[in-house]
Amino acid sequence: MSTQSAAVPTSLGAAPAVPLKLPRKAPVFAGETHSQLVRRARKMHKVLTETYPDAHCELDFTTPLELLVATILSAQTTDVMVNKVTPTLFAKYPDAKAFAEADREEMEAILKPTGFFRAKTNSVMKLGQLLVDEYDGVVPDKLEELVKLPGTGRKTANVVLGNAFGVPGITVDTHFGRLVRRFGWTEETDPVKVEHLIGELFGKKDWTMLSHRLIFHGRRRCHAKKPACGACPIAQWCPSFGDGPTDPDLAAKLVKVPA
C-alpha cells in the first residue's frame, strides 16, 4: 500500500508541527476496537458540530406535509431546485385534498424543473389521496406508517420524523452513506444497515443533527470526486485523508459556500 507523508490539519488552515504518515486509503484504523471507533466517531462529530453550528434541513417547509412532499421531490435533483418550485406548488395546493384533486398537467408543469416530473406528480397525487382516505389528510408521525406512503422510503420518513416531528432519525442519503464509509465508520452499503450501525455509535438524541452535519460536510468539503482534505477540520481522524488535495491553499479552493 502506498503511503504519503503530510501534515494533517487540525483546524481550517492549521497543521501540527510533526507530519503524520497516513495511507491514502483505509484501513488506517483497521485494528481499532468498537469502543475506539465510538470515541473516534464522536470526536469527529464534535468537531463537525463546531464547524457547522447552523446545520439544518436545507429544504424549505412550514408543515409536515410540505416537508414530506419536498423530500419526495428532492430525488435526483438539488434542494436548491426544490426550493425554487415549492412556493408555487404549496400556494396552489395547500393541503392533501388539493394534491389529490390536482390537475395532472398543471402539477407536471410546476414540477418539470425538478426532473422525473411525471413520476413525481404521480407520487404526490397518490400521496394526497392516501392521506385523505386513511389519515384524514394528516401526515402520520410513525415510521411504520410513513414508509407505506407513495414515494416514501426510510430516508424520506426519517427526514420528516426528525425535522417535522422532533423524532430522532438518521437520514442515509448519498452524502451520508459516502462519508461514513470514507470515515471508516462502516463498510456497509445497504442504507438500512448503515442507519442501524451508525445509530449504535451515537446517542439517539444526536441522530437528526448528525445527519445534517454530515450532509453539510459532504456538500461543502468532503466531495465525492475531490474532497478538500487540506481544509478539513476532522482530517486527523479520517482514514481517507489524501483522497483529495492536502495542501491547505489548494483545498480551500474546493470548499463550497452556498449562496
Catalytic residue among 173, 206, 243, 249: 173
The answer to whether 54 is a known catalytic residue is no
Find out whether 186 and 198 touch, Cβ atoms under 8 Å.
yes
Backbone angles phi, psi at 20, to 5 degrees: -110, 145
**Run of H or E including 97:** helix 96-100
Q: Based on the residue annotation, tell me whether 155 is a catalytic residue of this protein.
A: yes
Cell 489524501 sits on residue? 242
Which of 79, 120, 155, 243 does the annotation list as catalytic? 155
How far is Cα 137 from Cα 59, in angstroms, rounded to an integer? 22
Alpha carbon separation from 143 to 68, 77, 207, 218 (Å, rounded): 13, 24, 15, 26
Q: Which three cell numbers stand for residue 206?
A: 444526536
Euclidean distance between CA atoms 200 and 194, whole angstroms: 10
| Positions of E strands within the chain | 3-6, 20-23
Which residues on adjacent β-strands are paired with residue 168? none
Active-site residues, by number, are 155, 173
